[in-house]
A and B are shown apart, each in its own frame.
Chain A
Amino acid sequence: MSAVVDMRSRAEGRTGGGRRMPVRRRRPTGRRRLPTLRYLLLLAVLALSVGPFLWQLSTSLKGPGEDLYRYPPSLVPHEVTLGNYAGVARIIPVWDFALNSLKVAAANVLTNCAGAALAGYALARMRFRGRRTALLMFITAMLVPVESIMIAQFLTMRQLQLNNTLLGVVLPACIGAMNVLLMRNAFAGLPYEVEEAAYVDGATAWQRFVRIALPSVKGTLAVVAIFAFMGAWDDFLWPLIVLSDQSKFTLTVGLNFLHGTFADNQRLVAAGTVIAVLPLMVLFACLQRYFFRGLGEGAVKG
């Protein structure tokens, strides 16, 4: 818990202009000239990091009459149209792809939150023979790169007859070892007293887990959920290997197909990428603090 408090005070220190004192003080006026240069640099980096996405958005909105290669290039489309979005939906079932991605991502969130919380709680709060072995298994699994076992995973899926199914896409990563360790650390950071009291009052392990421990680690759970969603939505290599039937494609695999087949039609490819990236951008804009926060938030409540 002390670690959490420390993180908090650090965060406040940051809001105070990088100083550790939470009290905000005015800087000497001599330093005040800096921000102009800083803002210029910030804007330059902004153009570099967001510009490419805006260019893609702009391309996706340009009508058939507008020359994409026109010089000087114009970021604002002259002839705004949503026709490319309808167009891309005509040549590939892009909304089905999106639905598939959504299913995979939602399942990934649920299984990761539930599985990692359960396992993490057992590792952090229960004492039993074999706990070290279990912990070691998760740590080892975390060190094995997915890329080096994907062929074996593909064979396993064939044996289970799950290749070319969405279940096959979800299954291998549905409880990430990393998430188990994150949850374990979150539970380990909670104070014991409440759980001890509950134990004395006769609460079972399940009750202590659901009623006391779980509500205290909502912050970490949110982080696990968000990264599980993002991971599943953005994943490319594994779905590419498992899925062979177009009707099962997720968005990333579908986009790759679109790119391979209709590479010449930039407007359609651009519309496809915008469809793929927009949901995540909205999610990011809404839940930004969780993307950055990392861990330990919920622990203070305990």
Chain B
Amino acid sequence: MARQTALEGRRVTGPRGFPASRTARPFRGSRGIRRQLTVTPWLFLAPGLLIVGGFSLYPFLSTVAHSFTDARTLTAGRFVGGANYQELVHDALFWTGLRNSLLYVLGAVPLLVVLPLLLALLVQRQIPGIAFFRAAFYTPVVASVVVVGLVWVWLLDDRGLINALLEAVGFGRVGFLGDPWLLLLSAMAVTVWKGLGYYMIIYLAALADVPRELHEACAVDGAGPVRRFLTVTVPAVRSTMVLVAALSSVNAFKVFSEVYLMAGPTGGPGGEDTTLVMLVRQVGTGLSGRVGYASALSVVVFVLTLGLMLLVLRAQRREDG
């Protein structure tokens, strides 16, 4: 571990050859090799830097730049200052998208923090067949979100399996996909369903670190399972819970596919179910795409995603401090 941090590499200039301390390890001997080394690393890095620079960092800067222009897909556009951002504020669809994306975070994240933890506790004990159950619980993660979306569209259909079961137990049929609010809730449920296995695995690794002695001591003192869960397990995996909260809130905020599949490309009639990312795609793509405006939306998505992540991480730090 110590070596790994040292690798981060303070520049310790060692003597020629290998220094006595292994923490600094300049592979340099003769002059020739040193010169070769200044080129070699960049040859190794070239493909990665090219892709990451060309398709992540450059597009990011160009998105920011475009957001101050009125560019369209086929025309370059000119500088319009903050006009796009001003338009955002008055765009009802933007507020709907923002509302839905934030609601998605509020609805899905708490469930994605708690349920996978319970699931991990369920599959934690090494009992016969447990590997099968763990794998089975992970299958929704492996499947494409499109497959998952379509599977649930069929299940939640007006005459689908879930409505048949609801009717059998005496509830009436529910139009899950007809009402904008119910549709949004259903989409959240699908997101949670698909994410459970993924976060379960993360929790499973964290649970392995919880000292068994703590549980035993607690049990000896007469604490029941619920009490032990709250006083031993939760504090022990709290940093993992923060991690899961950060990951899942970022993902929930950027939700696209589930709602796109269930509500349609524009988020249903009047765009009631549209999300921010759906709006970016809708506004900015195609031959008549309003690149400038979509870029402003993209910047908002970026800022809020980052803000959300920082917010969760800060909440963690405050608790620790």
Q: Which residues of A come within 8 Å of B, CB atoms? A: 2-3, 10-11, 13-20, 35, 38-39, 41-42, 45-46, 48-50, 52-53, 55-56, 59, 69, 71-73, 111, 114-116, 118-119, 121-132, 134, 137-138, 140-141, 143-145, 147-156, 158, 171-175, 177, 180, 185, 188-189, 192, 196, 199, 205-206, 209, 230, 233-234, 236-237, 240-241, 251-252, 255-256, 259, 266, 269-270, 272-273, 276-277, 280-281, 284-285, 288, 291-292, 294
Contact = CB atoms under 8 A, between A and B. Distances in A.
DSSP majority for the B interface? helix
27 contacts: A10-B208, A10-B209, A52-B155, A52-B193, A53-B139, A53-B151, A119-B45, A123-B45, A127-B9, A128-B41, A138-B52, A144-B56, A145-B305, A147-B254, A151-B280, A152-B60, A154-B284, A174-B51, A185-B4, A192-B3, A192-B22, A236-B144, A252-B147, A256-B260, A266-B154, A284-B142, A292-B201
B218 to A, nearest CB: 14
B7 to A, nearest CB: 5
B52 A137 contact: yes
Given A151-B295, A175-B52, A259-B150, A140 B57 contact: yes
Contacts of B306: 143
Contacts of A129: 38
A13 B208 contact: yes
B203 to A, nearest CB: 13
A127 B51 CA distance: 22
Interface stretch (B82-90, B117-125, B313-321): B117-125
Q: Which 5 A-B pairs have the closest CB atoms?
A: A119-B48, A152-B59, A122-B44, A234-B144, A148-B302
DSSP majority for the A interface? helix
Interface in B236-295: 250, 254, 256-257, 260-261, 277, 280-281, 284-285, 289, 291, 294-295
B-side interface size class? 35 or more
Contacts of A236: 144-146, 256-257
Nearest to A75: B161
B228 interface: no
B244 to A, nearest CB: 15
Given A38-B125, A128-B41, A50 B26 contact: no
Nearest to A263: B153
Contact of A255 (B146, B157, B201, B301): B146
B79 interface: no
A276 B26 CA distance: 49
B59 A126 contact: no
B138 interface: yes
B63 A152 contact: yes
A14 B250 CA distance: 31
B261 to A, nearest CB: 7
